[in-house]
Structure 1
Amino acid sequence: MNTTSIAGSNKEVDSTTVLTDINIEAIYNRHISTIYKVCYMLLHNPEDAEDAVQTVFMKLMSVHPQFQNTEHEKAWLIVTAQNYCKNILKQSWKRKRVDIERIEEPVSENNSWKKELLQEVFNLKHKYKIVIYLYYYEGYSTKEIGRLLHLNPATVRTRLHIGRKNSK
Structure 2
Amino acid sequence: PDGTMKEELVKRLTVALNSAKKYPNAYIVCTGGGTASDNESASEAGEMSKWMIEHGVDKKRIIIEDNSITTAQNAIFTYDILTSLYPSVKKLAIVSSDYHITTGELLFKAESILRANAPGNEKLEVISNAAWKAPSGSLSTMFQAGALIELFGDVETAFDIYYDNYDIHGLPPLH
Radius of gyration: which is bigger?
1
Greater share of residues in helix: 1
TM range (shorter): under 0.3
Greater share of residues in strand: 2
TM-score, length-normalised on structure 2? 0.26
